[in-house]
Structure formats: C-alpha cells, structure tokens
Amino acid sequence: MTSSSRLVYDERLTVPRVWWVIAVLFGLSIGLIFLPYGAVAALIALGMGTALAGMYVSAQGSARIRVTVDTLFVMDARIPLTALGEPEVLDGEEARAWRTYKADLRAFMVMRSFITTAVRVEVLDPADPTPYLYLSTRTPDLLAEAIGDR
C-alpha cells in the first residue's frame, strides 16, 4: 500500500436496524394479503415481498465515504482533496437547512434521512460546476478533520 492510498477515514452509511425489521414485516404483510389465494401463493408473496424490501433497505445502506491522504471517495465519485475547500460541520437545523431551502441543485449531495448530521465542503476547482459537497455522516467532526488535513 502506497502512502497516497493510506486510509484516513472510512464510514458506511448503514440504515438503522429497525429498517430490517420493517422489511420483514412488509414481507409478512404481503404474504397475508395473498393468503386467500392459497398457502403457496402466500409463501411466494412472503419471499418476494421480503426480498424486495430487503433490497431497498440494503441499497439505502450501501453508501460509503472514504478519505485517503489525497482523495475523497464518496460512493463512485473520486475527488482530489486539493480541489476542496475547508469542510464545515453541520448539526441539526443547519444540516436540515442545507439539504432543503439552502440547497443548490448543482451540489453533489449524499443525503440519508436517518442521519441528522453532515459535512459541507466547497469545491474550489473552477472547471467543476459543482459548488459544494453535502455528505451525511454520523461522525462529522472526524470526517471534517480527515478532509481538512491535507
């Protein structure tokens, strides 16, 4: 592993555990809906409903944020830290404001409704039309520190 690929920060934006319970309950409810058509139909509906809800929950929890010595990786995006300004930690109302009425449609936003804190980072590259990054995170101080330490 080279020094430029050394991992400084790593976070997966996983969903709350109760979402998995809700996915199973969704599958059970679909199975109950199909019960009048027979046990086989109910079992197929149970399996399909649970699988579909599980795929949705898994997709919501698949976002990953990683920072190496020189690069920020957010899902499929790779952003050099030299193209970014100083990170701003957003808590509570300020984070809500930046993902609603203060939001710029050109911004790169990774929002998760179940995470109430975020980091906002200006994009300094004049060739990039993206004004800033908005990244939901459970540990905004650690992410801001990782991005700010260049």
pLDDT tens digits for range 18-39: 999 999 999 999 999 999 999 9
Count: domains in the chain: 2
How far apart are alpha carbons 142 and 124 in whole angstroms? Answer: 21
Do 144 and 88 belong together in one domain? yes
Do 93 and 133 belong together in one domain? yes
How far apart are alpha carbons 30 and 26 in whole angstroms? Answer: 6
Over range 121-131, report the average pLDDT: 91
- The answer to whether residue 36 sits within a structural domain is yes
Do 51 and 106 belong together in one domain? no
pLDDT at 148: 84
- Give the global pTM: 0.80
Q: Which of 7, 147, 1 is nearest to 68 (CA)?
A: 7
Q: Which of 93, 147, 80, 137 is nearest to 112 (CA)?
A: 137
How far apart are alpha carbons 52 and 27 in whole angstroms? Answer: 8
Do 108 and 144 belong together in one domain? yes
The model's pLDDT over 70-91, given as tens digits with 9 standing for 90+, comes to: 899 998 899 999 999 999 999 9
Do 53 and 89 belong together in one domain? no
Question: Please, which pLDDT band fits residue 140 given cuts at 50, 70 and 90?
Answer: very high
Do 56 and 89 belong together in one domain? no
- The answer to whether residue 19 sits within a structural domain is yes
- Domain that includes residue 89, residue range: 83-148
Do 88 and 139 belong together in one domain? yes
CB distance 10 to 18 below 8 Å: no
